[in-house]
Amino acid sequence: MGLSAVAHVVMKLGIRADADQVTIDSTTLFVALLCACIVIGHLIEENRWFNESITSLLIGLGTGTIILLTSGGRSSRVLEFDEQLFFIYLLPPIIFNAGFQVKKKQFFRNFMTIMLFGAIGTLISFAIISVGASQLFQKLNIAFLEMGDYLAIGAILSATDSVCTLQVLNQDETPLLYSLVFGEGVVNDATSVVLFNAIQKFDVSNVNSGIVWQFLGNFLTLFITSTLLGIIIGLLSAYIIKKLYFGRHSTDREVALMALMAYLSYVMAELFDLSGILTVFFCGIVMSHYTWHNVTESSRVSTKHGFATLSFIAEIFIFVYVGMDALDMEKWRFVSKSPGKSIGASSVLLGLVLVGRAAFVFPLSFLINLSKKSYSEKIEFKQQVTIWWAGLMRGAVSMALAYNKFANSGHTIVPGNAVMITSTITVVLVSTLVFGMITKPLVRFLMPPAKHSSSMVSSEPSSPKSFTLPLLGSRDDSEADTGSPTIPRPTSLSMLLRTPTHTVHQYWRKFDNAFMRPVFGGRGFVPYVPGSPTEMSVPLLNH
Measured CA to CA, the distance from residue 358 to residue 356 in angstroms comes to: 6
Q: Does residue 364 register a pLDDT over 90? A: yes
Mind listing the pLDDT tens digit for each residue in 376-435? 678 889 989 999 998 888 887 888 888 888 876 555 667 677 788 888 888 988 888 888
Q: Does residue 498 register a pLDDT over 70? A: no
479 CA to centre of own chain: 31
Measured CA to CA, the distance from residue 281 to residue 109 in angstroms comes to: 17
Mind listing the pLDDT tens digit for each residue in 164-215? 777 777 777 777 888 888 888 888 888 888 888 888 777 666 666 677 777 7
Measured CA to CA, the distance from residue 408 to residue 123 in angstroms comes to: 27
Give whole-number Cα distances, 426 to 155, 345, 399, 416, in Å.
Answer: 17, 10, 10, 15
DSSP bridge partners of 411: 408
- Torsions phi, psi for 29 (to 5 deg): -60, -45
Measured CA to CA, the distance from residue 234 to residue 229 in angstroms comes to: 9
Predicted local confidence at residue 463, as pLDDT? 33
Give whole-number Cα distances, 61 to 65, 77, 326, 328, in Å.
Answer: 6, 10, 7, 10
Predicted local confidence at residue 35, as pLDDT? 92
280 CA to centre of own chain: 11
Mean pLDDT, residues 120-140 taken together: 89
Mean pLDDT, residues 74-97 taken together: 78
Burial class (CB in 10 A: 0-12, 13-18, 19+), 530: exposed
Q: Does residue 153 register a pLDDT over 50? A: yes
Of 320-329, 338-347, 404-413, the range with the lowest mean pLDDT is 404-413
Q: Does residue 492 register a pLDDT over 80? A: no
Q: Does residue 366 register a pLDDT over 60? A: yes
Predicted local confidence at residue 154, as pLDDT? 92
* 233-237 contacts, C-beta under 8 A, 24 or more apart: 233/261, 233/264, 233/265, 233/268, 233/279, 233/283, 234/261, 234/265, 234/282, 234/283, 234/284, 234/285, 234/286, 234/287, 234/290, 234/291, 235/286, 235/290, 235/520, 236/261, 237/261, 237/262, 237/287, 237/291
Predicted local confidence at residue 352, as pLDDT? 93
What structural domains and CATH numbers belong to the chain? 83-446 (1.20.1530.20)
Mind listing the pLDDT tens digit for each residue in 468-487? 333 344 334 433 333 344 44
Supply the angle between the helices 121-139 and 339-370 in degrees, to the nearest 10.
150
Tell me which amino acid residue 69 is. Answer: L
Residue closest to 131 by CA, chosen among 115, 151, 112, 160: 151
Q: Which residues have CB under 8 Å from 177's CB, separation 6+?
A: 169, 383, 386, 387, 447, 457
Measured CA to CA, the distance from residue 361 to residue 121 in angstroms comes to: 7
Q: Which residues have CB under 8 Å from 414's CB, separation 6+?
A: 406
Measured CA to CA, the distance from residue 265 to residue 233 in angstroms comes to: 6
Measured CA to CA, the distance from residue 240 to residue 326 in angstroms comes to: 46
Q: Does residue 294 register a pLDDT over 50? A: yes
Q: First vs last Cα of the chain: how many Å apart?
A: 80
Q: Does residue 118 register a pLDDT over 50? A: yes
| Residue 176 C-beta-side C-alpha neighbours within 13 Å | 21
Q: Which residue has the higher pLDDT, 236 or 275?
A: 236
Predicted local confidence at residue 277, as pLDDT? 86
Predicted local confidence at residue 503, as pLDDT? 53
